[in-house]
Homo-oligomer: A and B are copies of this chain.
Amino acid sequence: MVRLAGVGLLALVFPMVSMQSGPAKVRVGDGPSYTADGQLKFPEKYREWVFLSSGLDMSYDPKPMDMGSSTFNNVFVNPEAYRAYQQTGHWPEGTEIVLENRAADKGTRSASLNKAGKTQSTQMTGLEVHLLDSARLAPKHENDGWGFYSFSNPVSAEVIPRAANCYSCHEQHAAVDTTFVQFYPTLLDAAEKHRTASASFLKEMQGK
C-alpha cells in the first residue's frame, strides 16, 4: 500500500515529465493521421512540407558495397512542427518527419545537359516516417513517444516494433529528441541557442 501510494504521488508531481525527456510539449495539427485500425496514413502532401536536407548514399559502413547505383535521401517535416522547433529547439507533439529515398538519375531525361554529377529521378525506392505522438505511442513504447514507420504501399503502415535497431541507434546518436538534426543544416542554430542537443551527441562531438 505504501509503495503504491508513493508511485501515485510521483505521477502527480511529474504527470508529463515522466513520459518523455523534455518538458510538456504543445501539439501541432498538421502531422500524423491514422486509419480506424490505428495504422499511420500515408502523408499525401509531404512534398509540400518543409525540406530539411538531402543526402547521397549515406552509410553506417565506411566501405559500403558498390551497388552500381546511387540513392538520394530527401527529408521533410510538417510545417507547424518546423516552426515550433525553430522557436524552442525541441520537436512538438505531432511532429512527422518523412524520409524519401529516390534513385539518382542515370541520364535518361537529363543527360543532354547534365554531363556529370547526379540528379534525382522519378523512381522512388522507399518512404519512412519518424513521428512523435506520445498519447498513442508512449504506452506501447515504454517512456518514449516516438515511432518509426516504413511504407510498403502509398496507403498506410504499422508502427515498427520498439525492439528494432532504428530506435536504439537514434537514441544513442541523434542530436536532438532522437532526431538526426546533425544532418539538417538549418536546424542546428536552434539546438545551439536553446541548448537542446543530447548529451550523447555532444560527447560524440567532443571525442572527435
Contacts and interface: CB of A to CB of B under 8 A. Distances in A.
Interface stretch (A16-24, A127-135, A179-187): A179-187
Mostly, the A contact residues are mixed
A6 interface: no
A50 interface: yes
Contacts of A56: 56, 117-118
A208 interface: yes
Nearest to A48: B50
Interface stretch (A31-39, A107-115, A143-151, A158-166): A107-115
A50 B183 CA distance: 19
A55 interface: yes
Counting contact residues on chain A (CB < 8 A from B), the size range is 35 or more
A182 to B, nearest CB: 5
Interface of A: 47-48, 50-51, 53-64, 72, 74, 76, 79, 82, 102, 105, 108-122, 169, 173, 180, 182-183, 185-186, 188, 204-205, 207-208
